[in-house]
Chains A and B, each alone.
Chain A
Amino acid sequence: MNRLKTCASVLAAGLLTVSLPAMAHHSFAMFDQTKTTDRKGVTVVQFQWANPHVYVVVKSGTETFALECNSPSNMKQAGWKFNTLKAGDKIDISYFPLRNGKPGGALKVATLGGGKKLDAW
């Protein structure tokens, strides 16, 4: 998500600002921001709404891997709820892959069953 835009509109609404940890977002450095991998119709295995990061585990073909998202606080601003996803849901995902080539990454956008798109970063 464009944090600055979200920040401005959220500030206008009198709600919370988007935030980043003090040091550069260390975990994000592990993901390749220059690439986006798209997978359609992956199955949600687990949706963990927790700190420091929400994450979703998905099964795509024979692969099962975890995708890191933003914090629950920031995810809420982007329209997610703690029960937005549950095991068995089929979603389309767009994510930044891990730089080391292992399965997994940082979820960029999830498209839910009904077509709704949610930013996860």
Chain B
Amino acid sequence: MNFKEIASLALCSALALGGANQVAMAASPASDQATKAAGVQAEPNITGVWERDPFPFDDDGDETKLVPPPGGGPDLKEPYASEWKALQEKRQAMLKAGTPLVDASTQCLPEGTPGIMEAIYPIQILQNPGQITVLAELFMQTRRIYMNAPFPEPDDLAPSYYGFSSAHWEGDTLVVQTRGVQQSVKFYDIPHSDAMTVTEHYQLIGPDKLRLDVSVEDPEYLQKPYTFRWEYKRNPDYRIPEYVCDHRLDVINPDGTVSFGGAK
């Protein structure tokens, strides 16, 4: 061994020993904090293409059955509860009659929060320092979630489809809070105020299995938080294609029903 090699070996050993020392030190509470502050603790990796698992839609072949909202639906205050129930019944009746009512998806509008996470088609989550990005196949949507970001002042929080999302890690759980979803974005037709907040808890429950618990709160509209759970599995083989709604065949009639418009 020449001098250079010995020096390298010495350096490596010193570093290795130094590393070992750090690990030994990390065992004590004081340096635990130091370790965390240094950002040494690795976050669970949720980057990937995720598809719903179990696949949520009941396939009895009946295309005229209205899909109910997850988690048993919301517990709305009156008069919203009765209004919502009436609208669901109307939708169901129109579906059965073959003259369905228009909804946001007819016009390929963004699903917003929490709708985008329903992942009817797969979603791609990109986890980067400072931001988590959700890219949905459906309508090629983009949702940005900012890590440890303070919420904007109310005057600076213009209502939007996805609202403003701020996230932080609590141990192994990613906690995302969203405010500022615009009132016209109604998940399963559920009305809400500008003060609605959506809290999401994400956990990896397996190497390629993700669990999301959603809680929607809105003291003005809801008797109690509306909660439900969605689970996904990672699909490393799937490449999300484009989805641009540039060949819609649906015609929206003045009465709000949708007809087949034929080819354009």
Binding site for B on A (CB under 8 A): 2-4, 7, 11, 14-33, 46, 48, 50-53, 55, 57, 65-66, 68, 71-73, 98-100, 102, 104
Query: Do A30 and B258 contact each other (CB < 8 Å), given the known contacts A23-B66, A23-B103?
Result: yes
In the complex, whether B64 has a CB less than 8 A from a CB of chain A is yes
Identify which of B51, B121, B260 gathers the most chain A CB atoms within 10 Å of its CB: B260
Q: Which residue of A lies closest to B62 (CB)?
A: A33
Question: Which of A11, A31, A52, A68 lies in contact with B55, CB distance below 8 A?
Answer: A11
Query: Do A16 and B235 contact each other (CB < 8 Å), given the known contacts A30-B98, A32-B98?
Result: yes
Query: Do A25 and B63 contact each other (CB < 8 Å), given the known contacts A11-B55, A73-B137?
Result: yes
Binding site for A on B (CB under 8 A): 51-53, 55, 57, 59, 61-67, 91, 94-103, 105-106, 108, 111, 115, 118, 120-122, 137-138, 188, 235, 237-238, 241-250, 258-260, 262-263
Q: Main SS of chain B's interface residues?
A: loop
Interface pair B66/A24, CB less than 8 Å apart: yes
Complex Cα distance, B260 from A50, in Å, reads 16
Interface pair B64/A55, CB less than 8 Å apart: no
Complex Cα distance, B235 from A3, in Å, reads 19
Identify which of B62, B100, B103, B235 gathers the most chain A CB atoms within 10 Å of its CB: B100
Complex Cα distance, B237 from A16, in Å, reads 9
Residues of B within 8 A of A19 (CB): 57, 120-121
Query: Do A48 and B64 contact each other (CB < 8 Å), given the known contacts A3-B59, A22-B188, A29-B100?
Result: no
